[in-house]
């Protein structure tokens, strides 16, 4: 288990050996990396929720104080992270299968999880932002809506872009594929997610009173 905690950090510096290690799909190896993956998924989910417009306006509702806001962010972030882990992992698996992968759905989820380490790491920005803007961060029209807040947003997007790069490296490394085949698999996964999102949006519009 200690090796997988170390690999959680190593993936930021030398990602290829970490993703190659995911080829070991034995029960022992899977069990050893379960806790690091759970932590990554929860932290990445929290980081993603903090980027939403809902979080940015949360304290406009007077019933949300600092404690309730923190609980909401953790719970919703955890749910969102776990949901993304299974849903995006499934689309990634189907994209890989479409170009010839024999890997398991579980392994695809694990590749996605370790690719999300930069997203989880982006949380290091938030104590700084909180110290500068306080609860304005969660109010409409607060001080964080200016140039300073925009800089934090750009830095966060950079972490998300880093995660996307790791995902490409991860898919290529775990399968031993060419760049072309790797990008094809990810492209199919993205197309599938886009199609599903459009279908859900249309259905919601149809059932909306």
Mean pLDDT by 10-residue block, N- to C-terminus, for the chain (209 residues)? 90 96 92 95 94 80 83 94 96 96 94 97 87 72 62 89 97 96 96 95 83
- The closest of 195, 205, 45 to 119, measured between CA atoms, is 45
Q: What is the pLDDT of residue 56?
A: 76
For position 164, what pLDDT does the model report? 96
Residue 73: the pLDDT is 92
Contact yes or no for 108/96 (Cβ under 8 A): yes
Domain locations in the chain as residue ranges: 2-207
pLDDT at 132: 76
Supply the DSSP string of 36-51, one letter for each residue: HHHHHHHHHHHHHHTT
Dig out the tokens for 135 from the structure. 């609860």
Taking the C-alpha atoms of residue 87 and residue 120, their distance in angstroms, rounded to an integer, is: 18
Assess contact for 182 and 103: CB atoms under 8 A. Answer: no
What pLDDT was estimated at residue 147?
A: 59
């Amino acid at each position: 288990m200690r090796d997988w905690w170390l690999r959680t950090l190593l993936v930021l510096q030398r990602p290829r050996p970490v993703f190659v290690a995911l080829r070991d799909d034995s029960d022992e190896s899977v069990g050893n990396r379960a806790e690091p993956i759970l932590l990554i998924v929860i932290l990445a989910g929290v980081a993603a929720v903090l980027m939403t417009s809902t979080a940015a306006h949360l304290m406009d509702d007077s019933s949300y104080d600092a404690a309730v806001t923190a609980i909401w962010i953790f719970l919703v972030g955890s749910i969102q992270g776990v949901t993304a882990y299974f849903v995006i992992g499934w689309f990634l698996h189907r994209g890989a299968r479409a170009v010839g992968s024999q890997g398991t759905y579980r392994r695809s989820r694990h590749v996605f999880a370790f690719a999300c380490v930069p997203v989880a790491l982006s949380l290091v920005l938030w104590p700084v932002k909180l110290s500068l803007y306080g609860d304005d961060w969660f109010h409409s029209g607060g001080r964080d809506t200016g140039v300073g807040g925009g800089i934090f947003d750009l830095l966060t997007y950079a972490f998300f872009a880093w995660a996307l790069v790791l995902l490409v490296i991860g898919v290529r490394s775990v399968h031993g594929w060419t760049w072309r085949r790797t990008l094809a698999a990810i492209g199919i996964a993205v197309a599938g997610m886009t199609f599903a999102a459009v279908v859900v949006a249309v259905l919601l519009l149809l059932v909306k009173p």
